[in-house]
Structure 1
């Protein structure tokens, strides 16, 4: 069963989507060719699989340069309602990539049995739609995030209308649709005919068990709590700041010998609150973004890992960073709304608190601190977290489920 995969970014590109999808395809071990863009940001190391192309029959990179960039790009984005939003800035790449695929397949030495497309960017799925219509291949469309239902797209009214049209075409024509959480399935498929929902499958991202290194913690060092990732939009460290301030007022001894690091970008506007300014020197440290390999080592060396998400009634997002945390085998505490992340952390045995409830965060975080003190006092033990839950997210386990989904279409006709 030969596979043609479309993913604008793949290893060794230094993007989270490239790493996550690259990991899936690397472990899938299917006879595969890949259509990609040409991206200059690269990385080296195990996490981005320097030998990735050895798993491919061939890679077909298709160059694309946006018609405008820099200041003109920003002006167009502010003035033109559809520019770079319906679905994204890679729309112009789609016809170029289609032409390249047609020319390559015309050589006759590769005839795919199944088509795979991965979004983000969602333009990958628009290329898949064209190839589906041209060749009639069974098609698996994989969504790392929601498309038309994404909360990050809500304020663009005209673009939302167009994105709903485009998404509907993709969902209607794809033979299998993969989402990373059940909550995303429920959100996206609610607006479509019930029969279409039968095509949906849930497949989370996976972690690479051997990528974290083995740096032992100093038993006499302060308890180290780390958050890794960027803050932006409504995803803010403010709920954490408020909880820490409350603990300092009511039970300051709970934070004795504790150091907290926020590794990644924090906009200056998020560091102006009274709660942040009230924190004593040495309690919280801002650390610049590190490369992916280094981030995995930092996870492994922590005593507690934080997940912080934007307030919402329900969050469908299951971030790849949380799945990476699983591989570190370190306790996890989530300041997250109800939804996919909260459910996974709870199944692992970790604590969660709603970002809209500072008192709840303070209470739950205090308990998490007590738990990690006990864990350290007990000495080195097995990896933290329900072992059955962790095992289901390993790269090999996820790849096995992925092969099963692709296998559902093996030998199927275009419209069966």
Structure 2
């Protein structure tokens, strides 16, 4: 008996970064596919020159992905040459797939990276009946310090077609010549739904729009949807061989120690603890390029209570979360730089599904500060970090239980 044919996809996903490539953007896009629960075709960049692969990531979206085409465009994350090549090659593939099947009804695109929205906007203009949902992971035209990100567009046929599409929709194209601003304005003018991960991100991005009618449309079409959390079985799919001293409380941090995330205060806090409390704690940092961190750990005399490890594969990361007593996540430090903190770390969505206590190092009023954290301290504030570490060393570790499975 022949195998049944897969259900034709009526949804198109345009995500420059998508599994099996290892990147937060790829993981979140795959989670969105799983959350929606509908068969999809995927257009992505062939980015082996810039990102390693992890075959386990394919399990997130699973067999919902019917067709996947890695576009052989230059892996340039904001340069116009990469954007235009990705768009031109991708739209031809999208049109061919559209003709082969019953036709697409819905499209989802996600940035990072900006090329995703350019391709999606071009296809949406060619297929006006398509419902386009566009997601922003973070503000595109502003960086974490509030500075304007810039990447020049080129006055070519693609830009002219996109500008014509915006004018037909009743909005003037950007005059800045900045690809990041173009990506935002194309979405605000043409997308049917605009997805933000939190209210602060939405408000900060929309308040930069000078055209009040465009800003009003963006707000009217906006949807706030935090990063999805995977069901509990994903935390049991892998095993990680890492001995853990049963006499210590184990705190896990996954990712690099960024300057804007104030992680140096954790090491300062450990150093400030009395020796008997340090002896009951162990901080595990799983990161790339660990040399600088290991040097600082040696200089501070913390080698007995800080352990480093490499970046883990995604399923290994989820499994290791379950083995920790406490998981550490930190806000980006934006005070004095931005009017509001628009960043909600994507790791929070993974941590909350683990059933393990979470310690958040937060800015007052941030989105992370409003989450259901077990422990909290002020980002970059050593004294409050000392207090949390002392509580962990001396008291019982609270385990809130796993988050409810997605509906």
What is the correspondence of 1:269-348 to structure 2 with a 5 Å cutoff?
269=292, 277-313=299-335, 314-338=340-364, 339-344=366-371, 347-348=372-373
Structure 1 distance, partners of 2:397, 2:64, is 44
SS of the aligned residue for 2:380 comes to coil
SS of the aligned residue for 1:100 comes to helix
Cα pair 2:257 2:264 within 8 Å, conserved:
no
- Residue matched to 1:142: 135
Structure 1 distance, partners of 2:198, 2:387, is 28
SS of the aligned residue for 2:236 comes to coil
Superposition deviation, residue 51 in structure 1: 7.4
Superposition deviation, residue 122 in structure 1: 1.6
Q: 1:237 to 1:278 in 2, by over 3 A?
A: same
- Residue matched to 1:128: 120
Cα pair 2:77 2:114 within 8 Å, conserved:
no
- Residue matched to 2:168: none
Q: 1:158 to 1:12 in 2, by over 3 A?
A: closer
CA RMSD of aligned residues (A): 3.0
- Residue matched to 1:240: 266
Q: Of 10, 16, 34, which aligns to 1:8?
A: 16
- Residue matched to 1:69: none
Structure 1 distance, partners of 2:234, 2:111, is 25
Structure 1 distance, partners of 2:90, 2:118, is 11
SS of the aligned residue for 2:348 comes to helix
Once the two structures are superposed, residues 167-207 of structure 1 have per-residue CA deviations (whole angstroms, 9 ceiling, x without a partner) of 11221111110011122112112234334301111111222
Superposition deviation, residue 283 in structure 1: 0.9
- Residue matched to 2:32: 24
Q: Of 62, 77, 87, which aligns to 1:94?
A: 87
Gaps of 5+ in 2: 1-8, 153-175, 210-214
Superposition deviation, residue 22 in structure 1: 1.1
Superposition deviation, residue 221 in structure 1: 3.9
Cα pair 1:246 1:362 within 8 Å, conserved:
yes
- Residue matched to 1:59: 68
Say how many residue pairs are matched.
357
Cα pair 1:88 1:121 within 8 Å, conserved:
no
Superposition deviation, residue 229 in structure 1: 1.2
Superposition deviation, residue 152 in structure 1: 6.5
1:44 aligns with 2:55: yes
Q: 1:280 to 1:219 in 2, by over 3 A?
A: closer
Cα pair 1:333 1:368 within 8 Å, conserved:
no
Structure 2 distance, partners of 1:322, 1:161, is 35
Cα pair 1:232 1:267 within 8 Å, conserved:
no
Structure 2 distance, partners of 1:231, 1:198, is 37
Bigger proportion of residues as helix? 1
Q: 1:198 to 1:184 in 2, by over 3 A?
A: same
Cα pair 2:192 2:221 within 8 Å, conserved:
yes
Cα pair 2:33 2:61 within 8 Å, conserved:
no
- Residue matched to 1:351: 375
Give the TM-score, by structure 1 length.
0.76
- Residue matched to 2:236: 213
1:115 aligns with 2:100: no
Structure 1 distance, partners of 2:70, 2:28, is 19
Once the two structures are superposed, residues 269-304 of structure 1 have per-residue CA deviations (whole angstroms, 9 ceiling, x without a partner) of 55666x862234311112122211211111100111
Give the TM-score, by structure 2 length.
0.77
Superposition deviation, residue 241 in structure 1: 1.1
Cα pair 1:36 1:62 within 8 Å, conserved:
yes
